[in-house]
Structure 1
Amino acid sequence: MTELYSRRSFLAGALTVGTLSAGAGYVLTRKEPVELVLATGVDTTGGRSQLLTMWNQLNPDARIRAETVPSSTRDQYEKFLGTDADIFNLDVIHIPRFAAQGRIVPVALPPDLSLMAEVGRLSQRPGSDEFWAVPFNTDVGMLYRRVTDKSVADPPPTLKGVVASSPGQFVGQLQTVSQQTDEAFVINVLEQALAQDDAILTEDGVLSFNLGQWRAALGPLAAAIKAKRIGAEAGEADTNRTFQRSGLRYMRNWPVYFPAIDRAERTKRDTAEIRVGTLPTGIIGGQSLAISARSENRDVAEAAIRFLTSKTAQLLLAKYGFAPTVLDAYIDQRLLESLPHVQSIRYAVEASRPRPMHENYAEFARLFAQHTHRYLYDGEPLSQRFIEDIQKELG
């Protein structure tokens, strides 16, 4: 344990030096100082804050001030618009809405940025080579599993198999109690449906409007919840606590939690290792940096975004648990030696599906959550009204 994490600490230091060295190319010389305002959600890892500190050290006349906006994914749009920001750190589902309403302007990608295709398409302007935002970090649903004996063969499971064959040993974000947990619920329900029928949501984020298909895809989940064969929590934090306190074998969660969970669980006598793998089809998410159409400092904002999304920045964010956006990070030998689970994250990103990328996504998600929650917990059948409601928002 000590040796493993001392190597990770060494990696963190090496990446920090590398980022600062690479940052020399991002130093700006200005006659008049400016302050860029970055509207962003809460940074629970410290990784994003570290990058902002580096930029500010290199550019004291073009500092970034983070305006942290506590919000759920659902209400991010309204709350971000209440800020006087130059840069928005947008959840990818909000990019179409900000773009459709003229809130952000296209931004050029650095020519040497090796974006993963699955990541890039979430921020790309449809039908063009332009981007509405530059991916800052990506995210994808992962299947965690506890290993008690590394000498025993342990082939990667499937989500479908876990739900069907491991009663009482799985927990995910399959409950919701408020707007703050609705989005996690929507994502988990979509992943459960994909585990049964991978045509329910296409690689381009096009949702099926076939009622029979939805009934068949969600039937096994409804049965498992009714029989209490799986754990259903509201939100990622509660899911983590249940997985750890109950010593469960499987959990669905995001990769950003892996470093902390791995570190804590390895101290337990009966846990040999925590592994992460694909679902096999997870929902891709993440945050991207966009320039506000109201910003008077677009050139400086674009330079700052280039720094914050560079390969070296991605390597540092990976140390904090974030899933990188660029292929270069996934094939970096030093990173893979210290954080081998990053390879599994790459496979999960490549096999992922996006949520419907539509400016009406927020209303779609609200209705989707209402209908599916009533079906899963109240026994209310999925009806044609479910299809009509979601089709109205995405049509």
Structure 2
Amino acid sequence: MPVRIAKDRFVETMQTQAEIGATDDGGLHRLTLSDEDKAVRDWFAEQMAAAGLEMRVDEFGNMFGRREGTDPDAKPVLVGSHLDSQPYGGIYDGALGVVAALELIRALNDHDVDTAHPIEIVNWTNEEGSRFQPAMQGSGVWVGAHDLATEYAATDVDGAVFEDELERIGYKGDVPCEPSEEYEAYLELHVEQGPYLEENDKQVGVVTGIVGFTWGAITFYGEADHSGPTPMHYRQDALVAAADVITQIRRIPSTLGERTVGTTGYIDAKPNSINIIPDEVTFTWGFRDPSDDVIEEARTRVLEEASAAAEREDLEWEYEDRMQAPAVTFADTCVDAVQTAADDLEYDSMQIFSGAGHDATHMHSICDTGMVFAVSENGKSHNESEYTSWDDCYAAASTIANAAVTLAEEVD
């Protein structure tokens, strides 16, 4: 018998969390370790306590709530996502997965359903990576992909130190940031952040894996000079070289694969004056694809383009690899559990590869992992126009709830 979550309560809970850090245009500005992040964490802690969960907060601020199972030897099933947002982002990204996990627990309580395995829900610290880098920071430290001391020392653009901000908002816990036991599985619900479910008229996405990606930065060093008297053939213009490479970052994906994407999301030009030839320009690259070989080829190509541009403009240059993550293929056990749940609930679904990184990327390294996608209208995300209908939110939340119960083994 499918587990039914209470739709009205689920929607109300989503609306309540969206008020914490709400923007005037209906979005969300809730950066990690900000006052707004503290407020939503306090709210989430209250909700977990009300649901009877045993809460713990680890030394990196990851928040867990546990509902015990009937088998003392069974490994926990973990379900969740993140409550931090992009700058002026949407109300669904991340938060939908946390609220769905909470509603799973509430539904089990409502219907007196016991599971053999414990079920834990989680709010990961700093999935977005918008204030502090890297992204997926909390789950990365938890699984051992990142060093705790290194990430504690991360700073934002204003020089605020991660560890200091974690202490300031009161969420530097005493529990070690690492698994204290083996886990049966991890499930995560997220909005698709792309157009494929809507284009194919599907209600639910059964995620089979996550693309790999490479992030990095290139800096060109030229010579500042007057933009009027300096002849063109005398110039060492760092911005011209940067523009050439940025254009190639846009074009390289079309030569590599159907799912390859490339982006320059950050540019810093100095001295940034209308009357001075730029002498130092830093910009970023970002490539994603389901194939690790394609990702490495894209990285190699952009560095070759940078070398050629530097030679043309007579510049010095350097690069920095900022983050790389291999492509992930999810375990059949989790994919099958999600697919079966969608089928049993009679939702039109399709199997899909995630084009964005998620905490599930790291969790894949320690246990079987799966994801559910909700429809993103017009494929929009990471901005205030992000939108998923409540019906689509509910369909995805119901799917992950039933998949989790399957993995946790409902007790008659």
TM range (shorter): under 0.3
Q: Which has the higher helix share?
A: 1
Q: Which has the higher strand share?
A: 2
| Higher radius of gyration, 1 or 2 | 2
- What TM-score, normalized to structure 1? 0.27
